[in-house]
Chains A and B, each alone.
Chain A
Amino acid sequence: KQEVTQIPAALSVPEGENLVLNCSFTDSAIYNLQWFRQDPGKGLTSLLLIQSSQREQTSGRLNASLDKSSGRSTLYIAASQPGDSATYLCAVFTSGTYKYIFGTGTRLKVLA
């Protein structure tokens, strides 16, 4: 059974810092992995999707990497800004199922 863990659960950093969010999963037989952002009381916004054959994806200040063999993904945020404050969730789509399995998220606060 696929399990997704995100550490840390919460993170507070000063503006301008580069930071790394972690996501680990127990079953490496995945189709893809997505990183999402969720603002309080709102829906999720897809940030990056990495297919199982890819190692990383980049969008602006965001870079996500995937290491299937070790069951890990990282989301790197460069030069963080207060507007980056949100909860970041990762989700994996496991082969042989019809579903994404989500982690519980990392709540990020970037201080001005």
Chain B
Amino acid sequence: ETGVTQTPRHLVMGMTNKKSLKCEQHLGHNAMYWYKQSAKKPLELMFVYSLEERVENNSVPSRFSPECPNSSHLFLHLHTLQPEDSALYLCASSQDDYRTGKLFFGEGSRLTVL
């Protein structure tokens, strides 16, 4: 069982659909993150949760809605997305103080918006 698991690995959706990305970590970490990776651009931090509380919302459009029901699970709810939202969405976690801990990433969810 890998440390950070993301599902689905691939998702195709229309602009009017509603879907969710799921992330689960089996490492006992306290902090979880959503990152967006687009072609030719650096990874962009979207959201940070520490002990299930959101501590960072990096000016992300409201069509992306995160949810962290417990320290092991993180969701990204998607609705009325745009084609430019097509990207690889990566979940990560870290232990203890998220300022100094190693980041552990999942394999990512490749999202295509038609």
Contact = CB atoms under 8 A, between A and B. Distances in A.
Interface residues of A, number: 23
Interface string B67-108: 000000000000000000000101010000011101111111
Given A41-B110, A43-B4, A100 B102 contact: no
A99 B58 contact: yes
A71 interface: no
If over half of A's interface residues share one DSSP class (helix, strand or loop), that class is named, otherwise mixed; here it is strand
Contacts of B106: 43
B42 A102 contact: yes
Given A44-B90, A99-B56, A32 B103 contact: no
B42 A46 contact: no
Contact of A31 (B58, B88, B90, B99): B99
Interface residues of B, number: 25
A99 B107 CA distance: 20
A103 B108 CA distance: 18
Which of A34, A89, A99 counts the most chain B CB atoms within 10 A?
A99
Interface in A67-98: 89, 91, 93, 98
Given A43-B4, A43-B108, A34 B103 contact: yes
Contact of B100 (A4, A89, A93): A93
Interface of B: 4, 6, 40-43, 45, 48, 55-56, 58, 88, 90, 92, 98-100, 102-108, 110
10 contacts: A41-B108, A43-B4, A44-B43, A46-B103, A49-B102, A93-B99, A98-B98, A103-B42, A104-B40, A104-B41
